[in-house]
Amino acid sequence: MAVHCPECAFVNTDGANYCQKCGAYLGGTGTDAAAGESSTATYRVGETGEFIPVDLEEIVAKGAALVIRAGGGRVGESFPLDGERHSIGRRPDSAVFLDDVTVSRDHALMVRRGGDWYLDDLGSLNGTYVNRQRIESQRLEDGDELQVGKYKLTFLTR
């Protein structure tokens, strides 16, 4: 059975949880969602480039995290948000390094203000989006979809 995307009407394969065209959440219509499991394995990249599996529930219990959901062949890579500020961009020393020409060197900044996380655009050429809306600064909530260049990330917190 095909699954139609509620955002772009693309016909996705059976079992898909995210649209293969626009990345929109398909509302848990996929077979993995019905079983109560996520279909995306999550990991972080170690210092020597090895993939290290992570348990998102464990990371999110300590704070917040970003998980790449589409783009750059890095689906599932996660970035725990510990501290107060995390740079996002094409600069190699960015906390969230996204190596693609659609991402500005200094694209966006995750900033903790009070008890909340905010995403601030840093004047990027292609813009920064939260839930498909272009933003300058936006308070984030659990499950928000961020788009930075061709990358789509999910913000997770508890």
Determine the Cα–Cα distance for residues 124 and 136; give it in Å rounded to an integer: 10
**Mean pLDDT score across all residues of the chain:** 81
Name the more confident of 145 and 61: 145
Name the more confident of 120 and 59: 120
Burial (CB < 10 A; 0-12, 13-18, 19+), residue 59, is buried
Please indicate, yes or no, whether the overall pTM of this predicted structure exceeds 0.85.
no
The pLDDT tens digits of the residues spanning 17-49 come to 777 666 777 775 444 433 444 445 566 666 676
Q: pLDDT > 90: what percent of the chain?
A: 44
pLDDT at position 11: 76
